[in-house]
A and B are shown apart, each in its own frame.
Chain A
């Protein structure tokens, strides 16, 4: 039922691999987000895009590289990851034009395991 679709659902990669996570939203929103979810920790905001422009980068290591070609698509390119990067990566969208406080709509996430 989600209007935000993430692929793949699961990803196992070695530390030397390069992979990409994809997110697509069908809600007509103009803001998209990448979050990292680790067990027993609050959701960690990684990147924010508003109208395709990156507006926030929360001191994320350069081995994570976002790309937002348009308001409906968001990618997270991964390279030379570390085992501690294993987590659930969630994409979300919202409509900040109405309010900075609009609720987030999340995708199902990509469960990433780095071996």
Chain B
């Protein structure tokens, strides 16, 4: 079946370091969405990418959609404690929304 693989499962960083999570789909996606789930919370929509090669920025967050529309990444520059949580990608293919398993961002004390 259709899958979206998301790596890594966890990433531990020092505050101020960068963070990146990657999603790879087994099929071409019509678009990809990114969500953030804080500890104890629910997924919250961050952004949607639609075009091949699209890059969007939200302050310290940079989202990319691959040229083949099969992969995507989220990069956070200079992480802060407020960035803690799990980041999910979800791609649309054949009218289905296929979720990655998420990458948990942990800030080292």
Contact = CB atoms under 8 A, between A and B. Distances in A.
Interface of A: 2, 40-43, 45, 90, 100-101, 103-109
B88 interface: yes
Given A42-B100, A43-B43, A101-B31, 19 more contacts: A2-B42, A40-B101, A41-B101, A42-B88, A42-B102, A43-B88, A45-B97, A90-B43, A101-B48, A101-B50, A101-B92, A103-B33, A104-B35, A104-B45, A104-B97, A105-B45, A106-B42, A106-B43, A109-B42
Interface of B is mostly: strand
Interface in B3-36: 4, 9, 30-31, 33, 35
6 contacts: A2-B42, A42-B4, A45-B97, A90-B42, A104-B35, A106-B44
Instruction: Give the most central of A101, A104, A107: most B CB within 10 Å.
Output: A101
B41 interface: yes
A43 B99 contact: yes
Interface of B: 4, 9, 30-31, 33, 35, 41-45, 48, 50, 88, 90, 92, 95, 97-102
Nearest to A100: B95
A32 to B, nearest CB: 14
Contacts of B31: 101
A109 B100 CA distance: 19
Contacts of A100: 92, 95
A101 B31 CA distance: 8
A108 B41 contact: yes
B22 to A, nearest CB: 15
A109 to B, nearest CB: 5
Nearest to B48: A103
Instruction: Give the most central of A2, A106, A107, A108: most B CB within 10 Å.
Output: A106
Instruction: Give the most central of A43, A100, A107, A108: most B CB within 10 Å.
Output: A43
A108 B42 contact: yes
A42 B101 contact: yes
A59 to B, nearest CB: 12
Nearest to B30: A101
